[in-house]
Structure 1
Amino acid sequence: MSCNTTDNQLQVSVFETSESGNKLTDISVFDFAEKDSIPTVILNPNKKFQKITGFGGAFTESSAYLLNRLSKKNRDEILKAYFSREGANYSLTRTHMNSCDFSLSQYSYSPVENDVNLEHFTIKEDMDDLIPMIKDAMATSEDGFKLFASPWTAAPWMKDNNDWVGGKLLPKYYDTWALFFSKYTKSYEDLGIPIWGFTVENEPHGNGNNWESMHYSPEEMTDFVQNYLGPKLEADGYGDKVILGYDQNRAGIKEWVDVMYATEESSKYYDGTAIHWYESTYEVFPEDLQYAHKKAPNKYLIETEGCIDSQVPVWKDDAWYYKKEATDWGWDWAPEDQKYLHPKYSPFDRYARDIIGCLNNWVDGWVDWNMVLDKQGGPNWFKNWCVAPIIVDPDKDEVYYTPLYYVMTHFSKYIRPNAEVIGVENLNKDLQITAAKNPDGSLAVVVFNEGETSQNFNLKLNQKSKNIQISARALQTIIIQTKTE
C-alpha cells in the first residue's frame, strides 16, 4: 500500500521489521509533527557503484535432511518462504562439495584411494537430501537463482596429511582435483542443476583444525587456479563457470588479492573474490573491501558465508535476537589482542549493519550460511552449533521464522540481480542506509536504526521528498517506483 502523495511528495511503500513486532509490515502512517526538524537523506541515482549479483543462503546436507523430516506442508512453506516472489526470492545460493561440518558424516565424491582419473566419482551422498532440496527450490523459484559450490577438503588420500582436517593438496593430485570440479559440474548439470561457479576452497587458512579443511597459501591457490582448475574447466566446456578466490575473513583479503591479481596471467581465471564475516561481530572492514575492489574493479566481490556461529539458537523468542546476548567463536578463542573484535552482540543488528556496510563498500553479493537448522543448531557432526534464519523442531513438526529471516528478506526480495547501488547522502548519522536501482527502474532504500528511539528523516529524490519515521531497533525497506530510463 502506497502512502498518499501530493505533487511534490514521493510515492513510497515502506516495509519495516522491528523489535516492537513488525515483520516486513507495510507502514503508511507516520507519527511526528510537521514542525519537527528532520534530517534529509538524498538519493542520487546518477551516482552508480557496483551491480548486484544477488542475495541468498546455502544448501547444506543438514538443512536438506531437516526439510525431509518435516511434513510436506511445512517443507513446502519453507521453500516458498525462501524462493518464491512472495517470500525472500533468493537469487544467489551456495552448496558444499564433499562433506562439511553441516553434514551428517564425513564423505567424499572420490572414495577410492589413488583413483587419479576419478573413475569412481559419485555424488550418491547428495541424492537423498541435498539434490531434492535444490531441485524443489528451483521448481519454487519463478525468477531462478545462481548456485555456486565450495569444497571444504579433498579426500584424505589426495592430501599431505592423509586426513579430513588440515593439510595441503599434494601437487601430484592438482590435475585430479581440477578434474573433480569438472566431474562435479557434469554430474549436477546432468540432473538439471546448473552450476554458476565455485569458490576454490572454503577457508584456506583452516578453521583451527576442527572440521573438514584444506590449506592453501595465496600463491598455492593461484598456481592451482592459473595452471590447473581454470584450464581444465575451459577444456571441458565449462569455461563460463565463475571462479572465486580466497573465501575467508575480510581482514586477510589484502595479501590474497595482491597475489591473485598480480598479473594478467594470475588473474585470468579468477572472476572475483569471496569473503566471510567471522573476523568480528561488528566491524565491516571497509578499508579492506575498498582495497580488494580497487585491485580488481571489474570482478566480483561476494560475501559467501556469514552466520551466528558458536551459538545454540533461541527458540521462538524474537526478543533475544535484538539483544546483545550472542557470543561468537572469538568470544572464547580469539587471541587477547583481537578480543575487542568479538564483544557480545545483537544477531539482528549484526546482519543488518553488515549487509548495509558491505553494499556501501563494493560487495555485490551476500550469502547466508545454513537455511534451516534444528533447535540445537545442527545437525553438525562436530557439534559446531550455529543459528539459521529458520529453525525447526522436526519431532514436533514446528517451524520458527527468526527475525534474521526478515532481515535477509529486506534485501533479497527488494534488491534484485543487476540492480545498481546508487549514491546516498545521509544527514541523519543515527541511521545506516544503502540504496539500489533495480532493473525495472524502482529504487530500493534500506534503512537501519540501531538506536533505542525512533528516528525521522526526509527522503529526497530530485525535487520530490517524503517524511518518514523508522521505529527504534528497526530495519526498513522503502520502495520508490520510477520510470525505467
Structure 2
Amino acid sequence: MKGLRSIIVFTVAILMISCNTEDKTLAIEVFETSEAGNKLSKITEFQNAEEKVVLKLNPDEKLQTITGFGGAFTESSAYLLNKLSKENRKKIIDAYFSKDGAHYSLTRTHMNSCDFSVSNYSYTPIEGDKDLEHFTIEEDKDDLIPFIKEAMAASTDGFKIFGSPWTAAPWMKDNNNWVGGKLLPEYYDTWALFFSKYVDAYKAEGIDIWGFTVENEPLGNGNNWESMHYSPDEMTNFVMNHLGPKLEADGKGDLKILGYDQNREHLKEWVDSQFKNEETSKYFDGTAIHWYASTFEVFPEELQYAHNKAPEKLLIQSEACVDAEIPVWQDDAWYWKKEATDWGFEWAPEKDRHMHPKYAPVNRYARDIIGCLNNWVDGWVDWNMVLDTKGGPNWFKNWCIAPVIVNPVTDEVYFTPLYYTMAHFSKYIRPEAEVIGLENSDKKLMATAAINPDGSIAIVLFNEHNTPKHISLLLKDKHVDFAIDAQAIQTIVIPTK
C-alpha cells in the first residue's frame, strides 16, 4: 500500500505542474490590408504601438446568423468578362468565388434590364401577353448565365443567388415607360407569374434561385433608369395577395421574399407595413436595404428598429457601391484617400449634406460592413463585380466603381483595395456563422466578430486613423497581443480547437 500511495502522490504532482504551466496564449492568424500596401497579407511580425486596445470576446453571446457576403451578377460585368482573354476571365471569377479567393457566398442579379445593362430589355416582350406564353430569358444566355455558371463551377461551397426586378415591361405599367410609374392592378397576377417563370427558366439552365427582392428601389431613383414604384402598403398587398400565394401554389414556397430594397432612412415605414401582423408577415422572409442615403452613416437606429420589429426575419444589405465616381486605375493610394464623393455630395438637401462628406472608398466599405454586422444585418452584397475604366458600360452612363476594374482593349485587370476589403469578410465569415459578443475598449477602432460553423472565430478590425494600435485580445482564460497598422483592415482567425 505504501508504494501505491507514492505513485498516486507523484501522479497528482505531475498534473498540478501541468495545470500550472498550461499555455494561456491564444493561437491566431492575422491577415491585413493596409494603406501601406498589404493586400490580405498574412502578418506574423507587428510594430510597436502606444495606443492600447482591449478586445474581449464572448462566444456565449450569440446574435444574428450570417446569410453571406458577395456581389451582383450584372450584364455590364458579364459583357466585360466576355471581352477578356480566357485566362483573365478565369482569374477574376476564381478570385471572387474560389476558396482561395474571396469565396463569395451571397449574390444578386437583375431580372429584366437595369442601369448596368447594355440596353433596355424584358423577358416579356409581347404586349398584352398576360399568361406570359412568350416569356424568355434568351437575352441572358450570352453573358449573365455563362458568368453565373462559371462562378458556380469555381465555388467549392456554392452560393445563394437572389433576383431583383428594376421594372416590369412598359406595357404592364400605368405610364407605359421603362422609367417610373406603377404596375397596373390588372397585371398583378401576371407579374407574380413572372417571378415563378423566372425560377423555372433559370432552373432549366442549371441555376437554382434562392429568393427575390420584390422591387429594386420602389421609391424610385429620380426618374433616371429602369424603375417601378410601390408604396409600403402597395408592396405588402402585392406580396400578401399575389406573389406569395403564386409561389406557394407553384410549389416554390421555400423561395425567400425580401421586401423594400432601398435606402435605410425610410426603413421603419416599410417594416411597419410588412410586419404589421401575422397575415402581412406570412410571405416576407426579410427586408433588403441599400446604403445610398449615406455611405458614411450606418443608420443604427433604423437597423435596430427593423430587427426588433421582426427579429426572426432576414435583414440583408442588397446593394452598395462607390457611385458618382469614375474608377481610378492602378492607384491603390487613391482608394484610401478622402477624395471620393457620393451622389449626395452635390445633390442632397442642405439638411442632409453632413451625411455625404468626401470619404475614402475603402473606409466606406469597411465602416459600413462592420457597422451593419454590429446592428443585426446578416448579409452584405456589393453591386457590380467588374466594371471598365470609365465605370461602365452602362446604357444610362451612370458611372460607378467596382472592386475589380478591367481594360478590355488591352486585356488588363486591376484588383482595387475594395476587392480585398470585401474578402476580409466573405472569405473568413461563412454562411451560418453567428455574430458574437465583443467588448471593445476603443470607440475609434471598429470591430466585429463571428463564430463559424466549424468552430473557428473571425474578428474583423478597421483602424481608419493615422496611428497603429496595440491590441490585447481575450477569449475566456486565454489572450494574445498584436498590433494593427494605421489605415488598415485586419481579419484575425482563431482556428478550430
Q: Give the deviation of 1:327 after TM superposition.
A: 1.0
Match of 1:7 in 2: 23
Task: Report SS of the residue matched to 2:52.
Answer: coil
Structure 1 residue 57 and structure 2 residue 90: aligned?
no
Structure 1 residue 25 and structure 2 residue 53: aligned?
no
Match of 1:211 in 2: 225
User: In structure 2, what residue type is equivalent to 1:225?
Assistant: V
Match of 2:470 in 1: 456
Match of 1:255 in 2: 269
Structure 1 residue 278 and structure 2 residue 304: aligned?
no
CA deviation map 1:406-431 (0-9, x unaligned)? 00000000000000000000012221
Match of 2:147 in 1: 133
Task: Report SS of the residue matched to 1:47.
Answer: strand
Match of 1:143 in 2: 157
Alpha-carbon distance between aligned partners in 2 of 1:431 and 1:9, rounded to the nearest angstrom: 23
Q: Give the deviation of 1:237 after TM superposition.
A: 1.1
Alpha-carbon distance between aligned partners in 2 of 1:430 and 1:332, rounded to the nearest angstrom: 28
CA deviation map 1:259-302 (0-9, x unaligned)? 10001010100000000000112100000000000011001000
Q: Give the deviation of 1:37 after TM superposition.
A: 7.2
Match of 2:431 in 1: 417
Q: Indicate which of 351, 354, 365 corresponds to 1:337.
A: 351
Report matched runs for 1:73-472 at 5 Å. 73-472=87-486
Task: Report SS of the residue matched to 1:320.
Answer: helix
Q: Measured at CA, do residues 161 and 314 of structure 1 come closer, stay the same or move farther in structure 2, by a change above 3 Å?
A: same
Alpha-carbon distance between aligned partners in 1 of 2:47 and 2:210, rounded to the nearest angstrom: 46
Q: Give the deviation of 1:6 after TM superposition.
A: 8.0
User: Contact between 1:459 and 1:465, CA under 8 Å: does it hold in 2?
Assistant: yes
Structure 1 residue 39 and structure 2 residue 57: aligned?
no
User: In structure 1, what residue type is equivalent to 2:271?
Assistant: V
User: Contact between 1:428 and 1:457, CA under 8 Å: does it hold in 2?
Assistant: no
Q: Give the deviation of 1:49 after TM superposition.
A: 0.2
User: Contact between 1:410 and 1:477, CA under 8 Å: does it hold in 2?
Assistant: yes
Task: Report SS of the residue matched to 2:364.
Answer: helix
Alpha-carbon distance between aligned partners in 2 of 1:399 and 1:81, rounded to the nearest angstrom: 12
Task: Report SS of the residue matched to 1:118.
Answer: coil
User: In structure 2, what residue type is equivalent to 1:444?
Assistant: A
Alpha-carbon distance between aligned partners in 2 of 1:436 and 1:275, rounded to the nearest angstrom: 22
Alpha-carbon distance between aligned partners in 2 of 1:418 and 1:243, rounded to the nearest angstrom: 19
Match of 1:48 in 2: 62
Alpha-carbon distance between aligned partners in 1 of 2:324 and 2:227, rounded to the nearest angstrom: 18
Task: Report SS of the residue matched to 1:89.
Answer: coil
Q: Give the deviation of 1:330 after TM superposition.
A: 0.7
User: Contact between 2:53 and 2:469, CA under 8 Å: does it hold in 1?
Assistant: no
Q: Give the deviation of 1:171 after TM superposition.
A: 0.4
Alpha-carbon distance between aligned partners in 2 of 1:460 and 1:6, rounded to the nearest angstrom: 16
Greater shift, 6-15 or 69-78, is seen at: 6-15
User: Contact between 1:370 and 1:388, CA under 8 Å: does it hold in 2?
Assistant: yes
Task: Report SS of the residue matched to 1:421.
Answer: strand
Structure 1 segments (4+ residues) deviating >6 Å = none
CA deviation map 1:307-328 (0-9, x unaligned)? 0011100000000000000111
Alpha-carbon distance between aligned partners in 2 of 1:267 and 1:360, rounded to the nearest angstrom: 25
CA deviation map 1:172-230 (0-9, x unaligned)? 00000000000000000111100000000000000000000000000000000000000
Alpha-carbon distance between aligned partners in 2 of 1:48 and 1:94, rounded to the nearest angstrom: 27
CA deviation map 1:92-150 (0-9, x unaligned)? 00000000000000000000001000011000110000000000000110100000000
User: Contact between 2:459 and 2:493, CA under 8 Å: does it hold in 1?
Assistant: yes
User: Contact between 2:218 and 2:229, CA under 8 Å: does it hold in 1?
Assistant: yes
Task: Report SS of the residue matched to 1:38.
Answer: strand
Structure 1 residue 16 and structure 2 residue 68: aligned?
no
Alpha-carbon distance between aligned partners in 2 of 1:336 and 1:138, rounded to the nearest angstrom: 46
User: In structure 1, what residue type is equivalent to 2:379?
Assistant: G
Ranges in structure 1 where 5+ consecutive residues have no aligned partner: none
> Larger Rg: 1 or 2?
2
Alpha-carbon distance between aligned partners in 1 of 2:123 and 2:352, rounded to the nearest angstrom: 38
Q: Give the deviation of 1:38 after TM superposition.
A: 3.0
Q: Give the deviation of 1:39 after TM superposition.
A: 2.7
Aligned residues: 477
Alpha-carbon distance between aligned partners in 2 of 1:37 and 1:316, rounded to the nearest angstrom: 33
